[in-house]
Amino acid sequence: MSKPLKFKIEKKLNNSLGRAGVISTPHGDIETPAFVTVGTKGTVKALSPEQVKDLGAQVVLANTYHLYLQPHDYIIRDAGGIHKFMNWSGPTMTDSGGFQVFSLGAAYGKNISKVTSAESAPLLLPENSEDDVVKIATIDHDGVTFKSIIDGSLHYFTPERSIEIQHNIGADIIFAFDECTSPNEPLRYQQEALDRTHRWAKKSLEYHKNAKPIHLGTKFPSERQALFGIVQGGRFEELRKESATVLAGMDFDGYGIGGSFAKEDMGTAVKWVNEILPEEKPRHLLGIGEPEDLFMAVENGCDLFDCVAPTRIARNGQVYTRFGKENLLNNKFIEDYTQIDSECDCYTCKNYTRAYVAHLFRAKEMFAATLASIHNLYFIINLVKKMRESMLNDTFHEFKNSFLEGYRKNKDL
Ligand SMILES: [Zn+2]
């Protein structure tokens, strides 16, 4: 059987795990490291696929939990798969739904997020986490029962069901079903959850390898979709290492590294894992997207990252600049006729002033979200592209130091 994914390492960073490479999928190549744009419900909020492509996005990640509940995976399967359904011809990914099942369910009350930090936690919670929805999730040996965030109906996800849904959606890269725990859980619970995650990883892989083609005459899912296993283990070194070792022994096409981390020890936790995972397979750090975290992750050997933050904060009027984040609703921008970032080459910065975008936000015009999202995505995607170029030119550390020195200047937010 032919493999659905190839990964070629082009250059390695000296004295660290960082690398630049190319992932080849049935829908094109991804030059890594790369930021993965989040299109939760099969759309990057406020943007057309053409705009997403023009701002430099290489790959879009949709969400299994949300697409299963609405419109349902069979609708996407019968439409010809996610690429055709959403009119995106490039590489796509779906997550397993595990994070949403747990974060919109049992763990919600504990304020679970990918990173425990008062500043970043609210930004990283899943989309549409309306407070008036009753949130419950019950975990058993084989799967999770959870309530729909849309109508409160009960649903049951097993590893097999998660993979079946992801086969129907049809993304190029899919993920094994895992249990995402809060970093605040004690060691004993983390160990139990990790045992479940490993059992579910094995079941996800077996189901994927044995699944039949969805339509007559089409390829087997394991020939057209790559499956990544997800390393968990919270903030405990022995559990993270155990998880990386167990999953490295399974024949996955690549690996995801799941939350949850404490922000201050994320780099160490990623390093423990990447020292064990096979070098020749790609690694995706799930739910990470802040500039400082991206440098840490790239330096420690991660190839892909996704995060809703760039588009979510854009819709609230917050924009990245090379001097830190700014809030366009701040009074000082009302008469500011300069661009959001004077060195940014995005469509928004080339054509509009801060005063204009700030006016759109105050007037609650929809175009505000579009312009701010274009800028924020371009900024983060381009930042990771520059990290890649700096690795290829042997200037990664110089680039990192000069960027972070400027970025930490503005602590207004
Ligand atoms: Zn811009």
Confidence check: pLDDT of 185 > 60: yes
Measured in Å, residue 368 CA sits from the centre of ligand 1 at: 13
**pLDDT band at residue 105 under the 50/70/90 scheme:** low
Residue at 412 is within a domain = no
- Identify the active-site residue in 253, 293, 303, 306: 306
> What pLDDT is stored for residue 122 in this prediction?
32
Measured in Å, residue 334 CA sits from the centre of ligand 1 at: 18
Residue at 384 is within a domain = yes
Both 375 and 275 in one domain: the answer is no
Task: Examine the residue annotation and report whether 95 is marked as an active-site residue of this protein.
Answer: yes
Interval 247-269 mean pLDDT? 89
Q: Is 53 helix (H, G, I), strand (E, B) or coil?
A: helix
Q: Residues 339, 363: contact at Cβ < 8 Å?
A: no
Measured in Å, residue 392 CA sits from the centre of ligand 1 at: 25
> What pLDDT is stored for residue 123 in this prediction?
30
Confidence check: pLDDT of 323 > 70: yes
Percentage of the chain lying above the pLDDT 70 cut: 91
The residue from 307, 337, 372 where one domain ends is 307
Q: What is the pLDDT of residues 137-175, one digit of tens each?
A: 788 899 998 888 888 889 999 999 999 999 999 999 999
Residues 6+ apart with CB under 8 A from 90: 27, 28, 53, 57, 58, 59, 60
Q: Which amino acid, 143?
A: G
The residue from 307, 334, 360 where one domain ends is 307
Interval 345-367 mean pLDDT? 98
- Identify the active-site residue in 73, 95, 253, 341: 95
Q: How far is CA 365 from CA 152, 355, 369, 395, in A?
A: 32, 14, 8, 42
Domain of residue 358: give its range: 323-407
Domain CATH number, residue 208 = 3.20.20.105
Residues 6+ apart with CB under 8 A from 204: 96, 159, 160, 162, 163, 176, 177, 227, 229
Interval 367-394 mean pLDDT? 98
Confidence check: pLDDT of 186 > 90: no
Measured in Å, residue 201 CA sits from the centre of ligand 1 at: 40
**pLDDT band at residue 9 under the 50/70/90 scheme:** very high
* Total number of domains in the chain: 2
Both 280 and 396 in one domain: the answer is no
**pLDDT band at residue 114 under the 50/70/90 scheme:** very low
Q: What is the pLDDT of residues 242-255, one digit of tens each?
A: 999 999 999 999 99
> What pLDDT is stored for residue 411 in this prediction?
59
> What pLDDT is stored for residue 74 in this prediction?
97
Measured in Å, residue 361 CA sits from the centre of ligand 1 at: 16
Measured in Å, residue 372 CA sits from the centre of ligand 1 at: 8
Interval 91-115 mean pLDDT? 68
